[in-house]
Amino acid sequence: MIQPVDILAIAAHRDDVEQTCGGTLLQSSAVGLRTAILDLTAGEAGTRGSAAERASEAEEAGRILRVAWRQALDLPDGRLENNWESRLKIASVLRQARPRVVILPYWQARHPDHATTATLGYEACFAAGLAKVETGAPPHRPFKIVYASLYADVRPSFVVDITAYVEPRFESLMAYRSQYENQSSGGQIFVPQEEIRERTFALARFYGMLGGVRYAEPFVQKEVGLVEDLTLVPVQSI
């Protein structure tokens, strides 16, 4: 059941959120914010596993990430398109969930679905605020849209300290046994299971060092940041 939340993470596939902003969702939940995940596809076109397997794994991962709810739309895996029908489906969820913050994938990515989700999600946020667009719920437009940039070759606008949550973040990713356990299918594409932990923690450690903490997740915002008190700006310069 879709309920109002503070933060909604939108991703193309089940397991995208776990990789890019799972720690941030855990940190947000820990300070009392309500979080949720909207997966746009069921993952039916994935090299490994089935849509049914990934649905069960996503449910387990969502429990680990302490989200209020998780839902998957029926958009086509591997061939997402930014069209009006898709925008309306997402806008309908946005109007019910009424998040203040939406997390989207960064707009440049190896997988076309990820890049499409960035633009599709942004335009859905815009459409959700149009009073004359009918979806059965009152208009709502998120206040803030941020982009999870973990795999992007770009300097983040900010990072979120996930040091206290890095272990359950990794646990949520490994809930996708159909994707990350060693198997012959996709062996040339997927990282060997024994290397996943090292790679995952190394990336988080790198972004943590940028922010002066142990582990962090990076984000990009398109807007200029606003500071009211220079003495409270975090991260030491020297």
Where do the domains of the chain lie? 7-232
Q: What average pLDDT does this structure show over 194-219? A: 95
Average pLDDT of the chain, as a whole number: 93
| pLDDT for position 187 | 54
Interval 38-92: pLDDT, tens: 999 987 766 666 778 889 999 999 999 999 999 999 999 989 999 999 999 999 9
CATH classification code of 7-232: 3.40.50.10320
Which residue type, as a one-letter code, is found at position 134?
Answer: E
Q: By the 8 A CB rule, do 25 and 53 touch?
A: no
pLDDT of residue 228: 94
CA 26 to CA 163: how far, in whole Å? Answer: 11
Based on the number of CB atoms within 10 Å of its own CB, is 195 exposed (0-12), middle (13-18) or buried (19 or more)?
exposed
Continuous H helices in 31-186: 51-64, 84-97, 112-128, 166-174, 177-180
pLDDT of residue 183: 59
pLDDT digits (tens, 9 = 90+) for 171-192: 999 999 887 765 555 555 667 7
What is the H or E stretch that residue 217 is in? strand 216-220
Query: Can you tell me the distance from the alpha carbon of 208 to that of 215, in angstroms, rounded to the nearest whole number?
Result: 4
pLDDT single digits (tens) 13-36? 999 999 999 999 999 999 999 999
User: Residues 215, 204: contact at Cβ < 8 Å?
Assistant: yes
Tokens of residue 214, six digits:
């142990």
Taking phi over 0 as left and psi of -120 to 50 as alpha, with beta for the rest, 189 belongs to: alpha
